[in-house]
Amino acid sequence: MSTAAAANPSDDMGEATLALETPVEVTRPETHPDRGREAIVHHDVPALAGHLLLMSGREAALARAAAARRAGRRAERASRVLDIAVCVLIAPLALVAGALVALTIKVVDGGPVIFVQERTGRDGKRFRMFKFRTMVPNAEALKAELARLSVVSYPVFKIKNDPRLTRTGRYLRRSFLDELPQLLNVLKGDMSIVGPRPTTAPPSDYMLWQTARLEGRPGLTGLWQTTPNSEDLEFADRVRLDIRYLSDRSVGWDLRLILRTLRRCVRRVGL
């Protein structure tokens, strides 16, 4: 041992202590429970306040989904404004036409004028949908007996020359006038003018991918209703069209679908 070292035995220890107390800049992974993934935190980058978060593919997908939800909410608000405007504009004509239809049903067919049925709406919530009655009063009871004749698979039910239809009902179905009372559902907020058609099947009967059609309010008309041979489409094909509509919905597209529906009504009644 040298004389200098012996004279100052604490020098080495002081340098060691100084070395241990000197802050060291490190880069280490930290887990952020609120974000559900690891973020790389660079403590030597003060410009970023010590945090540099690397966006993963999952985060990018979540960001895109959030942007899509915001766009969807904007489209939903615009659609609601359109719904109210259409209801107000056609209210006088709808009231007169509705009164004539109700009188005809009562005089020609007798029995109840309005048919109320549970349907599946937005987010899978069930609601009471209104229609002018087009079938015999015990139509729902007869449905089970006729199920084997359906030309499309469940949950859609359709048979050719349905024997349950009344004389007035056949014309109302062809002209879509039976849907007029659903303007009340639109005003209540249960439905929209344009959207996926509500089904009688509960959401538990849907396949997982099909539940995407429940992300918007159901409508009086929609994309698949204005498609050629729409009544013969299987439910899965209808759902694909509904999802496409919800993905790209806009006021402009709603207006085009409304016009296409009106043209189809005119053709079906032979005007």
pLDDT tens per residue, range 89-102: 999 999 999 999 99
Q: For 184-195, how does the pLDDT look when each residue is reduced to its tens digit (9 = 90+)?
A: 999 999 999 999
Give domain status of residue 180, yes or no.
yes
What is the predicted pLDDT for the residue at 270? 55
Weakest-pLDDT range from 17-21, 111-115, 255-259? 17-21
**Mean of per-residue pLDDT scores for the chain:** 80
Q: Smallest Cα–Cα separation from 44: which of 21, 20, 27? A: 27
Mean of pLDDT values over 67-83:
81
For residue 243, is it within any domain? yes
Strands 126-132 and 37-42: unpaired
**Considering the domain boundaries, does residue 1 fall inside one?**
no
| pLDDT of 156 | 82
- Phi, psi dihedral angles at 132 (to 5 degrees): -75, 140
Residues 166 and 84: beta-carbon distance below 8 Å: no
Give the span between the Cα atoms of 244 and 246, in whole angstroms: 6
Distance from C-alpha of 257 to C-alpha of 261, rounded to nearest angstrom: 6
Residue 241 lies in a domain: yes
Do residues 245 and 217 touch, judged by C-beta distance below 8 A? no
Is residue 200 within 8 A of residue 118, CB to CB? The reply is: yes
| Tally of structural domains, the chain | 1
Residue type, 89: L
Q: Which residues are bridge partners to 116 per DSSP?
A: 130
Collapsing DSSP states into helix, strand and coil, what is residue 116? strand
In a domain, 262, yes or no: yes
Residue 132 placed within a domain: yes
Pairing assessment for the beta strands 219-221 and 192-194 based on DSSP bridges? parallel
Question: Rounded to an integer, what distance in angstroms lies between the CA atom of residue 79 and that of residue 73?
Answer: 10
Nearest to 191 by CA among 252, 258, 135, 125: 125
For 124, the domain range is 80-269
Q: Which helix (H) or strand (E) holds 133?
A: none
pLDDT digits (tens, 9 = 90+) for 195-245: 999 999 999 999 999 999 999 999 999 998 888 877 778 899 999 999 999
Q: How confident is the model at residue 117 (pLDDT cuts 50, 70, 90)?
A: very high
Dihedral over Cα of 236, 241, 245, 247: its sign = positive
| pLDDT in the model for residue 55 | 54
**CA gap 35, 240 in Å, rounded:** 33
Q: Has residue 123 been placed in a domain?
A: yes
Q: How far is CA 110 from CA 107, 251, 260, 267, in A?
A: 6, 40, 33, 29
Q: Which residue has the higher pLDDT, 123 or 72?
A: 123
Largest separation between any pair of C-alpha atoms in the chain: 125
Separation between Cα atoms, residue 4 and residue 257, nearest integer Å: 96
Summarised one tens digit per residue, pLDDT across range 129-150 is 999 999 998 888 888 888 888 8
Which residues, 6 or more positions from 138, have their beta carbon under 8 angstroms from its beta carbon? none
Token pair of 251 as six digits? 């006021």
Is 9 a member of any domain? Answer: no
Structure tokens at 194: 């344009």
